[in-house]
Amino acid sequence: MAQGELFEAIITHREIPEDPRLPLLIWWASRLAELGLTPSYGPGDHGNLSCRTATGLLITARMTTKAQLQTEHFVEVLGVDRTESRLPVQSPTRQAGVRVRCRGLHLPSTDTLLHLEVYHRRPEIRTIIHGHDECALIKARELNLPITRCSAATQSLELLEEVCQLVKGYDYVLLRDHGFLALGHSIDEAGELVRRLCARAREL
């Protein structure tokens, strides 16, 4: 068992998830890397991709390199339990006690709870892509893109709730001081939205 900032992750099935959409997620992860939207932080790089499943979602694992993903680098969320928290007193989730049960060989992205909440608020959405586009952040006003008031330099429940409110009206949201979330009814739709807005930001 391991702790994320906003949830505890428990691997209940130590096996590689199976899903026919995994090759397409891997392909788009590689495209994000080519566009420079997954900057490295050492043992891995930033950004994550997910798609909805019957039980929860498939999402990239922590500390992965998006240009080199394989199926073993994905984690399937099987369920979410809200129990009495075991997190430290200073944790923002000390009252929520969110525990995520997973299938996989690695721990899920630390943004897993954000993805789960966005899927809950937007039941028609099938895919979420999170990346880092400094150009879009700088030109948010010119692009007429929504951006959070809260800084996303650190995770918080306040940021999570603000993002969930913004995605009620937008499929592309900027996270202040951090990156973006792109939503789609399919993997290709979310990926093309990222590619289109990335190009627009660089044209301005």
Distances (CA, A) of 15 to 41, 44, 61, 71, 110: 27, 21, 13, 11, 20
Q: What are the start-end ranges of the H helices in the chain?
A: 22-34, 112-121, 134-138, 140-143, 157-166, 187-203
State the residue for tokens 């702790």. Answer: 3
Averaged pLDDT, 129-154 = 95
Q: How confident is the model at residue 61 (pLDDT cuts 50, 70, 90)?
A: very high
Q: How confident is the model at residue 5 (pLDDT cuts 50, 70, 90)?
A: low
Q: How confident is the model at residue 132 (pLDDT cuts 50, 70, 90)?
A: very high
179-184 and 8-13 beta bridge pairing: unpaired
The reported pLDDT for the residue numbered 2 is: 39
The reported pLDDT for the residue numbered 22 is: 97
Q: How confident is the model at residue 96 (pLDDT cuts 50, 70, 90)?
A: low
Amino acid, single-letter form, for residue 188: D
The reported pLDDT for the residue numbered 136 is: 96
Averaged pLDDT, 81-101 = 58
